[in-house]
Amino acid sequence: MTATKTERIKCLIIGSGPAGYTAAIYAARADMNPVMYTGMEPGGQLTTTTEVDNFPGYPDGIDGPTMMIQLQKQAERFGTQVRMGMVTEVEFSKEVGGIHRACIDNSTWVEAETVIISTGATAKYLGLPSEQRLRGGGVSACAVCDGFFYKNQQVAIVGGGDTAAEEATYLANICEKVTMLVRKDEMRASKAMQHRVTSTKNIDLRYNTEVDEVIGEQVVEGLRMINNETGEKEDIEITGLFIAIGHKPNTDIFKDQLEMDDTGYLITQGKSTKTNIPGVFASGDVQDKEYRQAVTAAGTGCMAALDAERYLATVESEAEETEKVSA
């Protein structure tokens, strides 16, 4: 560690998706002078989404990257400093009113009275070259987000857990046929979710089956499946492939400092965005493994900024009372 320089700010926002930008808008309007570091993926997961049709206020829809640019401009209009950079280390104070420290790109220390974490979660993919090439061209990690574009078409979904089962039944309601690929000889999903899948007529459930290749140049045109017991391959025609094998919250640098569940999602208190550290708040997908939508992320970004504002007001009020007593 060769970090040099130190800057003191009132509000540090780590991450730049819908949660981070919304937090920035509210924090800036509350005169908290927020500073945001965008991280490795400025704009978050929505920058890999071609069309966003389910965010309120866009009657004709909007593409993800454009939406993130607009959110950034709105945050900057109120005074948010948006900086390219990666938070590589944090040192959180456990004291109420304490100063939190964050290292940027292993070179610059920032000290902050409050920290809003909105680092998001990264969808897990299979890692196949054909899959990666067609992300945004028919390969998606969110059926609820993108399923509508495949109405009355044939699609496939990969996964065997509760999320995969839920998304498969969601797709079955709007698509002509859903082929569900489960790597093992049984699903990991709860019995209730398994029953929903097996009782849905237009879901073709394939056990011991994996993706061999996604077929198509610019868009998904088909899928080559392989039976991992027999080695037999089969091609089917589809227009959309949904990967539902889980997400990884981007919380590695917060380990041993912030409370998180066994999969790494940050734990917040009650209906607030408060973490176990005073003055540190979590918003968006980094603390939400249930909904994972842009609009819910934005909502928690608003909550985090309001929580941070109230925290600062309480700290300042207590400081004033202490000064009166000592005087």
Q: Give catalytic status of residue 145 as yes or no.
A: yes
Q: 10 Å Cβ neighbour count for 292? A: 20
38, 66 Cβ separation under 8 angstroms: no
CA separation for the pair 93, 98 (Å, rounded):
5
Structure tokens belonging to residue 264: 């790494």
Q: Which of 53, 103, 105, 142 is catalytic?
A: 142
Phi, then psi, of 125 in degrees rounded to 5: -115, 170
> Helix 64-77 and helix 18-29: axis angle, to 10°?
20
What is residue 290's three-state secondary structure? Answer: coil
Q: 10 Å Cβ neighbour count for 296? A: 17
217, 80 Cβ separation under 8 angstroms: no
Phi, then psi, of 264 in degrees rounded to 5: 100, 0
Q: Which of 146, 285, 288, 307 is catalytic?
A: 146
Q: Which of 103, 145, 285, 288 is catalytic?
A: 145
The residue length of the chain stands at 327
Q: Give catalytic status of residue 175 as yes or no.
A: no
Q: Give catalytic status of residue 252 as yes or no.
A: no
Catalytic residues: 142, 145-146
